[in-house]
Amino acid sequence: MQHKQAHEYKEVLPVDVSHKSQPTAPSKRCCPSADDRARTTSNQISSILTPARTPMSNANTPHRTQRKQIVRSMLLVALMVFLTGLYQGMGWLVYSLLHQEGGCLTPECARASEYAIWTAQHAGFARTILFLVMVLRIGQNNLSRADYRLLVVASGLTVVADYFLVYQRENFMAGLGVFVGVHLLYTLRHARGFAESLQPARRARTWRLLLLSAAGVLLLSAAALWWIHAKTRELSLTPPGAPVVLYLAVLSLSLWMAWGTLIRQGFTRFHARLIAVGMTSFYLCDLCVGMSSLLNGLETKPGSFFDNCVGFFYSPALVLLAMSGYRTPPSPPAVVKLRLNETQAAPLSLNPGV
């Protein structure tokens, strides 16, 4: 090992020629010793490795705000799950009471079924209100202002449509018409990036995947329509008419456009998955609504069964579509890592004077 000795620094003083020059003591203002320089270097390294508290807290302020927003959204989701469980529980209670062997003939059974129906209706509508609240809470954390507007209008119309379907059953066609507008808005929203996906470099792949997804949607819709026709004929009920077929066509178009978000680059991969799964749940939910209505709802056992399947698909659809409007929060900045990287450009030496 190499050992370095500290240099002695002497101050040059004026010498009187009439006397002999005497050696002078080292000045107190001389350069720092080797131990002092080593101690200073050690303190510099310690200050670099120690995270800066104030800049870190300032840098994380937006991320803390986003975390709070996520926590509040999760609380809304938890409340929605509770309402869905209440809705489903009351629905299956009605199913068991009305379609038990011998029927619901006693006054106690009638009162219990009425209470369960009333509770299920209010829980289901409150769930839709929470969906609107989740969308409104997106605010400035949206993907784009146009996307946010489309989601707000679609969620508001969803509340109106559900009001007709829940509290105004005699105006079922009015609710169906409002839902047509909802799905057209979703189709417009999920068509983002469609023109760019047809550019020459990606045109062949886009058309191939679009045709495959369209075939899958058409096959699913045709199978559902065939089953409804067969079941209504078996029960001597009115088969689906032109309004139902038109709504199924709009619903199929909305599902096809949602699946297309996985093909195009209009949304991130994460948001595209939320949209695709959410609209698939919405499609299955509306199929259950249509089947229940065409099979006379609670009056028949198949109709009551499909009515209870609505909540199983509807709640995930609402939650996923609402979450698809939130911008994904970026990773928190690594302040300590950046400071270390900055010091690497000018490395410190543990050997004083080097």
Q: What is the arithmetic mean of pLDDT over 319-342?
A: 67
pLDDT of residue 203: 82
Identity of residue 209: L
For residues 105 and 89, what is the distance between their CA atoms, to the nearest angstrom?
Answer: 21
Burial call 81-102: b when 16+ CB within 10 Å, e when fewer:
eebbebbbbbbebbbebbeeee
* pLDDT tens digits along 117-150: 999 999 999 999 999 999 999 888 899 999 999 9
Per-residue pLDDT at 111 exceeds 60: yes
Which of 49-53, 64-68, 271-275, 324-328 has the highest mean predicted lDDT (pLDDT)? 271-275
Q: Are 234 and 302 in contact (CB under 8 A)?
A: no
More confident residue, 196 or 160: 160
Band of the pLDDT at 189, cuts 50, 70, 90? very high
**Which residues sit opposite 142 in a β-bridge?**
326
pLDDT of residue 329: 58
pLDDT of residue 149: 95
For residues 84 and 168, what is the distance between their CA atoms, to the nearest angstrom?
Answer: 21
How many CB atoms are closer than 10 A to CB 168?
11
More confident residue, 354 or 120: 120
Chain length of the chain:
354
Task: State the average pLDDT for the chain.
Answer: 79
pLDDT of residue 24: 53
Q: Distances in Å between the alpha carbon of 230 and those of 233, 295, 308?
A: 5, 11, 21
**Which residues sit opposite 152 in a β-bridge?**
none
For residues 309 and 315, what is the distance between their CA atoms, to the nearest angstrom?
Answer: 11
Q: Are 232 and 244 in contact (CB under 8 A)?
A: no
Instruction: Tell me the three-class secondary structure of 319-341, residue by residue.
Output: HHHHHCCECCCCCCCCHHHHHHH
More confident residue, 181 or 204: 181
Q: Are 39 and 46 in contact (CB under 8 A)?
A: no
Phi-psi region of 236 (alpha: psi -120 to 50; beta: other; left: phi over 0): left
Handedness of CA 281, 286, 289, 295 (dihedral sign): negative
Q: What is the arithmetic mean of pLDDT over 304-310?
A: 89
Per-residue pLDDT at 54 exceeds 60: no
* pLDDT tens digits along 233-261: 887 777 777 888 899 999 999 999 999 99
More confident residue, 177 or 169: 177
For residues 124 and 162, what is the distance between their CA atoms, to the nearest angstrom?
Answer: 9
Per-residue pLDDT at 63 exceeds 70: no
In this predicted structure, which of 74-83, 133-142, 329-338 has the lowest mean pLDDT? 329-338
Per-residue pLDDT at 53 exceeds 60: no
Q: For residue 56, what are its two tokens? A: 């870190």
Per-residue pLDDT at 277 exceeds 70: yes
Question: How many Cα atoms sit within 13 Å of 81 on the Cβ side?
Answer: 7
Percent of the chain's residues with pLDDT above 70 = 74
Burial label for 151, CB within 10 Å (0-12, 13-18, 19+), is buried
pLDDT of residue 184: 96
